[in-house]
């Protein structure tokens, strides 16, 4: 059974703890809403729009989607408020400081305990 969790502003400010570190074989499903910035092949998700505009802003949540979805999202959604759905994975699962997911690599620029492997990235309602 997959858990569904919607992140709120409080969860963002609490250091992006969307779910306990998940085993790669049975990750938890997470839905996160926030402002997205794309850098170095991954996304960083922020609670407030102003944080997207500041370099090195924290806290944030790092993640990736499939290579094709990332290419499209970078063109259409950079700097926008989005809803991202995917699986949270503990950063302790990383090998050589990265996690590969469907042709993309997350390097965890946000430095959080978890990263988000996205199945969908869409404009927030």
pTM of the model: 0.78
Q: Residue 85: beta bridge partners? A: 31, 120
Secondary structure, 3-state, 54-109: CCCCCCCEEEECCHHHHHHHHHHHCCCEEEEEEEEEEHHHCECCEEEECCEEECCC
CATH number for 81:
2.40.50.140
Domain count for the chain: 1
The residues, any chain, with a CB within 8 Å of residue 103's CB and separated by 6 or more, are 66, 67, 68
Q: Looking at residue 15, what is its pLDDT?
A: 44
Q: Looking at residue 125, what is its pLDDT?
A: 82
Q: Looking at residue 26, what is its pLDDT?
A: 53
Per-residue pLDDT of the chain (125 residues; tens, 9 = 90+): 333 333 433 344 344 434 333 344 556 689 999 999 999 999 999 999 999 988 778 899 999 999 999 999 999 999 999 999 999 999 999 999 999 999 999 999 999 999 999 999 999 98
**Where in the sequence is the domain holding 48, given as residue range(s)?**
4-123
Placement of tokens 């059974």 in the chain: 1
Q: Looking at residue 54, what is its pLDDT?
A: 87
Structure-token pair, residue 30: 């997470």
């Amino acid at each position: 059974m997959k858990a569904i969790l919607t992140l709120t502003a409080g969860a963002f400010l609490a250091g992006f703890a969307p779910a306990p570190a998940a085993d790669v074989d049975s990750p938890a499903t997470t839905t996160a809403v926030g402002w997205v910035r794309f850098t170095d092949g991954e996304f960083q998700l922020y609670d407030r729009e102003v944080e997207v505009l500041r370099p090195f802003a924290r806290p944030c949540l790092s993640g990736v989607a499939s290579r094709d979805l990332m290419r499209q999202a970078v063109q259409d959604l950079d700097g926008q408020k989005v809803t991202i759905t995917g699986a949270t994975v503990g950063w302790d699962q990383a090998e050589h400081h990265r996690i590969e997911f469907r042709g993309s690599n997350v390097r965890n620029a946000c430095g959080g305990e978890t990263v988000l492997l996205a199945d969908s990235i869409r404009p927030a309602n």
